[in-house]
Amino acid sequence: MSKPFTPKVVTANALLEGDVVYLAADDRWTRELSEAEILEDEAHAALRLLDGASEASVVVGAYLADVALKDGIPHPTHFREEFRTRGPSNYAHGKQEQI
């Protein structure tokens, strides 16, 4: 028996800057997880992943990441995704400067 589908978002890295980005419902890439499209249907998630992965001139490494909804806002469920929301870890720049 297969595991039930849980909410997900499409995530990738911006090709030029390397920043973590999320696919929004209006087909733009955003650096804010809170703006990402929440995918709750497996077939729709697969299609959105194809949409995101097809933008090879904009992003690299698109994949589906699990999220949990808290008050309608997505939050990562895995340490790796939580870590990615903080931006690059090699030195303070980008999102890390805001912490």
Output the pLDDT for position 95: 61
The answer to the question of residue 25 being in a domain is: yes
Task: Give the CA-trace dihedral at 77, 65, 10, 40, to 10 degrees.
Answer: -70
| Residue 26 confidence class, pLDDT cut points 50, 70, 90 | very high
Q: How far apart are CA 12 and CA 96, in angstroms?
A: 18
Mean pLDDT value across residues 30-44 = 96
Q: Give the mean model confidence (pLDDT) for residues 69-93.
A: 77
Residue 22's domain comprises 8-98
Residue 62 lies in a domain: yes
Is 1 within the bounds of a domain?
A: no
Number of structural domains (the chain) is 1
- Look at residue 24 and tell me if it is in a domain: yes
On whether residue 2 sits in a domain, the answer given is no
Q: Please give the average per-residue pLDDT across 58-79, as a whole number.
A: 92
CB atoms within 10 A of CB 76: 18
Predicted structure pTM score: 0.82
First to last CA, the chain: 43
